[in-house]
Structure 1
Amino acid sequence: MPRHAVLPRRLGFLPFRGSTAVADGLLSRRKLEGRMWRRLLPDVYVHADAFCPDDHRMWCDAVALVLPQGAAIGGLSAAFLWGVDLLPRSPAQTRAVSVAVPLAVSMRRHERITAAHTRLDPGDVVRFANLPVTSPVRTAFDLGRRAPLADALIAVDALLHRRTLKLPALIRYATERAGWPRVTLLRQVLTLAEPLAESPMESRLRLLIIDAGLPRPVAQHDVHDSNGRWLARVDLAYPELLIAIEYEGDHHRERAHFQRDVARLNALHATGWIVLRFTADDVLRHPDRVVAEIGRARRNRRAA
């Protein structure tokens, strides 16, 4: 039986360099060009059964095979590998892998690769999931300098919430790089960052409130009744005014979740809390209305 008829297990599910497989006698060039294999990048292939065009991890694995020395998966792709999925929903964009490349190193352009040439200090690149990836603190540092402010804050909040790093470490890292591009934006993000934020829309809602000049609300506030019994945790709150501010995602429409929400709201109302609920449409399309409603609730509470 020819040697290439028996394939190593990794060729069945992970991208690989075609030239290496041919040189090792695992495949012939003719076999590699057959329908069993899918070409992802120049000289990078994957088994047809393992090919999924929207699988960002597959594209990260493929791109890692062509990275020059010292380069790493970075940006949103690094965040994805660290467990924070902020990738664009567009399939074409989802397939593009962000990479950080040392300043003096060149890299061949490809539509599936978004390369940023940058200084990479010792410790900025680590091995994670068998891939070279920018460290959590470097990933947060890069994404926290990416305009607009809301996107930068969402990324930093999400990485902090994931507990891949702690805020003091990021502050220290940024302070040591005070002269880097767009660090001013990151400094603003660091004053607004909230490790307790549980979703991008919660971060966006909190920023909307602060930008309007309203006091910063407390994130993930636990509400107790007069006997100290825990009732609920609310997304954002002004505890001194008994005002809760909630972001309502699509999951709240599910029957079981809706039933829990009703019981939760009744319990909050029974203890004197006002609950303001907002959707993505409210936050993104009607921000002035959101701010006005919160401001009105605060004024009414203060006047009571």
Structure 2
Amino acid sequence: MSRPAHVPRRLAFLPFRGSRAVGEGLLTRRMLTGPTWCRLLPDVYVHRDAFARADHRMWCDAVALLLPPGAAIGGLSAAYLWGVDLLPRDAPVSVVLPPARRMRTHPMLDLGRSVLPAGDLTRFAGLPVTTPVRTAFDLGRRTPRSQAVIALDALLHRRVVKREKLRAYLDEHAGWPGMPLLREVLALAEPLAESPMETRLRLLLVDAGLPRPIAQHEIRAPTGRFVARVDLAYPDSRIAIEYEGDHHRERAQFRRDVTRLNALRAAGWLVLRFTADDVLRKPARVVREVTTARTERRPSLVGTPRTSTGSDDVRGVPVER
């Protein structure tokens, strides 16, 4: 029976530079070519058990070992480290390189060049990463519009960055590329949005010319009793718009949804429910249904009293710089 390979404790969990491990006498070059170790990047290895549990954080750890001075993990990878996971499966690590720095390309690297002042750099658990405000700044101006709004919604919702601080940073960097997009995205951003699909649904309605719906709107009875909180709402016409994710198919959740829907109907609200398939593949139908509902309900609701707190009285109404 073959003897199990010896695994130094300090190399058992995190990526490491192979040349350094060899130089310190922890491993030999021949050992690195064996089945115990997995090569992630040039001269970067990890134990096979750690590789079996690989996530984006492990890849960030690996990439950080190769970053030249002044470079940092940025973009969606920085957002991931700050607690906002918007990455597709097996996404490469986003890196911001100062113009004078070089780094070898690799399928697991998404390299971008930009001026990166020292004030825009910080460390997260030892990893060089763009600050929260710089992360939001880059995502808002360098990402396609819908993805940019999704990213800013998530960063604002998790309080990784505050709108006022981002707006001030934007004003200080007025001449940078992508500013018109960032200003539009910041105006569209909604800190109360709780998921990317809620953001997509809201954008779909706004882009169709409908008024911007209120996010996470609380509906209360005249007594102040809480009825429900809905994803999006048009209080003037008492229309609630809900995004239904796959978890709504679970039996317990389905039962709660039925009770909640009945309570909203009793309070005089019309509830429109949409799925990912509706939003992504049938956007015209979504817009048509919402538009029709607003047209049909608003005439009968003229003069309906509303509270000023966001809740509703429901009496008697159905390479850069």
Aligned match for 2:157, one of 150, 161, 166: 161
Q: For 1:150-193, what per-residue CA distance to the aligned partner results, in whole angstroms no more than 9, with x for missing partners?
A: 11100110111111111111111111111111110000001111
1:134 aligns with: 130
2:107 aligns with: 111
Aligned match for 1:248, one of 221, 234, 244: 244
Cα drift, residue 229 of structure 1 = 0.5
Maintained 8 Å contact 2:236/2:298? no
1:301 aligns with: 297
Equivalent-residue separation in structure 2 for 1:260 and 1:5 (angstroms): 54
Equivalent-residue separation in structure 1 for 2:158 and 2:208 (angstroms): 28
Cα drift, residue 104 of structure 1 = 1.3
2:85 aligns with: 85
> Is 1:269 matched with 2:265?
yes
Percent of pairs with identical residues: 68
The alignment's TM-score, normalised by the length of structure 2, stands at 0.89
1:57 aligns with: 57
Cα drift, residue 53 of structure 1 = 7.5
Equivalent-residue separation in structure 2 for 1:5 and 1:268 (angstroms): 63
Cα drift, residue 135 of structure 1 = 1.0
The alignment's TM-score, normalised by the length of structure 1, stands at 0.94
> Is 1:227 matched with 2:229?
no
The equivalences for 1:171-186 within 5 A come to 171-186=167-182
- In structure 2, relative to structure 1, the CA distance for the partners of 1:262 and 1:83 (3 Å cut) is same
> Is 1:195 matched with 2:191?
yes
Runs (4+) of structure 1 moved beyond 2 Å? none
Equivalent-residue separation in structure 2 for 1:286 and 1:199 (angstroms): 19
Q: Secondary structure at the match of 2:79?
A: helix
Aligned match for 1:209, one of 205, 214, 218: 205
Equivalent-residue separation in structure 1 for 2:96 and 2:111 (angstroms): 6
Equivalent-residue separation in structure 2 for 1:27 and 1:97 (angstroms): 27
RMSD between aligned alpha carbons? 1.4
Q: For 1:246-284, what per-residue CA distance to the aligned partner results, in whole angstroms no more than 9, with x for missing partners?
A: 111111111111111111111110010111111111111
Q: Secondary structure at the match of 1:70?
A: coil
Q: Secondary structure at the match of 1:240?
A: coil
Please say which of residues 25-34 and 40-49 is displaced more in the overlay: 25-34
> Is 1:170 matched with 2:159?
no
- In structure 2, relative to structure 1, the CA distance for the partners of 1:54 and 1:292 (3 Å cut) is farther
Q: For 1:217-247, what per-residue CA distance to the aligned partner results, in whole angstroms no more than 9, with x for missing partners?
A: 1100111112110111100011222110111
1:10 aligns with: 10
1:76 aligns with: 76
Equivalent-residue separation in structure 2 for 1:5 and 1:247 (angstroms): 52
Between 1 and 2, higher relative CO (CA 8 Å, sep ≥ 6) is seen in: 2
Cα drift, residue 88 of structure 1 = 2.1
Cα drift, residue 129 of structure 1 = 2.1
What code does the residue aligned with 1:68 have?
A: P
Cα drift, residue 6 of structure 1 = 6.5
